[in-house]
Structure 1
Amino acid sequence: MTRPALPWRRCLLALAAAAMLAPAHANTPWPAKPIKVIVNFPAGGAADQIARAISQPLQESLKQPVVIENRAGANGNLGGEAVARAPADGYTLLMSSGGMVSVNPHLYSRMSFDPAKDLVPVAAAARVLVFLVTRPSLPPANVKEFISYVKANPGKLSYGSPGNGSSPHLAGEMFKTQANLFALHVPYRGAAPALQDLLAGQIDYAFDPGIALTQVRAGKLRLLAVGSPKRSPLFPDVPTLDEAGLRGFDADTVFGFYAPAGTPPEVVAQLNAQINRTLALPAVQERIASIGGEPQPGSPAAFQQRAATDFQRFGALIRERRIAAD
């Protein structure tokens, strides 16, 4: 009669079985299943458009589906938290503006996660410019006239943004500080609804992250300036705000991909290489350029350094303007 295995013998057998299975699991090539990219802003915005431009060629190179999921709210925090809490296996990524890492910690006294610790940078995707656009029925035809007009009508003009603390909002506050003027800020849940109200004449102007450029070309909006250190190749005749007299004006942000902290370095490196390769494709470059952005390939370390620099400069503006999340 066979004796039942003693507890310690059962443990040894279980450990042996696990040891036999472990190499096969560890050697499973990545990716072995679909990859989900959570976009922490609504559909139609800059982050969403960049993610969708990159996802198709990326899934072709990785030979796995890349699925986009929009999870907006709390200035990107809801989507950021979802990725921070996801398994660190390379199958859940975040596409976000740089603001969630460099701005939100200044806006929220409490966050349910720490972007700097709970996420790792994977790859920058695009440098996103902001464009000062107005409804065409406003009299000013250039920046200097516009500044004079707003100063002559303090508090009577309003501007929209994708939300408190978003990069277009910070651009608007930077503009008010440097031009020494006052206008009412109207926050929206994303850039697309802000654009809709600008087109409808419900607000007077906006610092747009590029989704309004089609309307500019159609003559439905007036483009006055670029909130970037250099002019946009799409509109070489349109001056920067620096050229218009607001010295050093720079509201650019870098959008990119993040992964949960603890994601294997080799997976991060592979993703970085594939995303950089994708950014070199003419079709992707054209798609990013269509919203006024510029492809921004580079290493995870360079992406992290840019976030650190923006953390300092935007933090100073937030404190000066006493900007809050609510």
Structure 2
Amino acid sequence: MARRRDLLTLAAAALAAPAFAQPGKPIRLIVPYPPGGPLDIVARALAERVKDSLGTVIVDNRPGAGGNLGADLAAKAAPDGTTLVMGAVATHAINPWLYAKMPYDPLRDFTPITGVAQVPNVLVMNPEAADRYGVKSVADLVAFAKRNPGKLNYGSGGNGSAGHLAGEMFKAQAGVFMVHIPYAGGNPAQLALLSGQVDLNFDNLASASANVKAGKLRALAVTTAKRSAAVPELPTIAESGGALANFDIHTWFGLFGPAKLPAEVTQRLNKAFVEALATPELKARLATLMAETMAGTPEQFGAFVKAELAKYDGVVKRSGAKVD
């Protein structure tokens, strides 16, 4: 009789257990962008590190609609811990204001699990333009722009891109006018800056760093509230003070599950991924991308996402960018 009770107890526990705890049931980690990018690289490294605690994690690249397609797949998945998404500043803070129609609500339709990483953008100038205009610092740039409204231009990877919105935030806070020139992606925008077609860009630190080191671009400041560990000698835009004292914009990404994910499932996932992000292997991988970990509790990540969504409301509206 006792043995029968034990077997019934075990069977009940198995039924009550989260689906991802079932043997042979892999976790699908959706990356809403093509293979090879920072989110994909980090997702695959994380999948490898958590296999002992969570079992098999399969990275599933589902690009499309600026990341909305992959994020929507996760939003509509069963809340059992077997489908997650590597969301980002675009999918959860920018796109909701940029796209006329969104297939999901960035707050209501997801369960935050943990932030993963943040990557600073960097304000870079064409060196010849910087010398011609006498710009050696952010303060110099603001002073020149105020004396010469519309003379400076900046490139970006397209309307609504991170570089475009960083430029719009800079213009609004500094009280200056610079002409925005959108390109079809980050690489064409950087080539335009290198060739002198534009004066400055708000570029991704990792993609700009090689040209900065080679002297082909001049870095003035990082866009984050704090200096980057990758380039600690480079000041922040906020350090220039005045109206820019609270300037803070960066690329970030983190893990979400569908809404109504059970608390115990959320906590187990959080524990596994936070521990993985603390390993030397993951820290080294992030360092190669000039990224810094932003691991934390689900509550911390949820509050962060909510604040970012509110911040980009005004930024996107001021930019005038829209995707129908």
Moved over 6 A (4+): none
Shift of 1:149: 5.8
For 2:21, which of 27, 30, 33 is the aligned residue? 30
* Matched residue type, 2:274: N
| Gaps in structure 1 of 5+ consecutive residues | 1-20
Deviations 1:248-296 (A, max 9, x none): 1111354201112233332221110011001111221122233332211
Given that 1:75 and 1:165 are in contact with CA atoms closer than 8 Å, whether structure 2 keeps it comes out as no
Shift of 1:159: 1.2
For 2:227, which of 219, 224, 231 is the aligned residue? 231
Partner of 1:47: 39
Say whether 1:262 aligns with 2:260: yes
CA RMSD of aligned residues (A): 3.0
Count residues with an aligned counterpart: 304
For 1:87, which of 74, 78, 81 is the aligned residue? 78
Distance 1:35 1:287 in 2: 22
SS in 2 for 1:82: helix
State the TM-score, normalizing by the size of structure 1.
0.80
Given that 2:114 and 2:254 are in contact with CA atoms closer than 8 Å, whether structure 1 keeps it comes out as yes
SS in 2 for 1:33: coil
Identity of aligned residues (%): 37
Distance 1:202 1:54 in 2: 40
Shift in CA distance, 30/134, structure 1 to aligned 2, threshold 3 Å: farther
Deviations 1:134-165 (A, max 9, x none): 3444334433444456664826633113x543
Distance 1:171 1:239 in 2: 16
Say whether 1:127 aligns with 2:155: no
Partner of 1:6: none
For 1:160, which of 156, 167, 170 is the aligned residue? 156
State the TM-score, normalizing by the size of structure 2.
0.80
* Matched residue type, 1:107: L
Say whether 1:295 aligns with 2:267: no
Shift of 1:95: 0.7
Deviations 1:153-179 (A, max 9, x none): 826633113x54343332121112223
Shift of 1:240: 0.9
Range with bigger deviation, 109-118 or 143-152: 143-152
Distance 1:200 1:101 in 2: 34
Shift in CA distance, 285/29, structure 1 to aligned 2, threshold 3 Å: closer
Query: Per residue, is there more helix in 1 or in 2?
Result: 2
Distance 2:37 2:46 in 1: 15
Larger radius of gyration: 1
Given that 1:131 and 1:207 are in contact with CA atoms closer than 8 Å, whether structure 2 keeps it comes out as yes
Distance 1:256 1:98 in 2: 9
Distance 1:297 1:54 in 2: 12
For 2:200, which of 194, 199, 205 is the aligned residue? 205
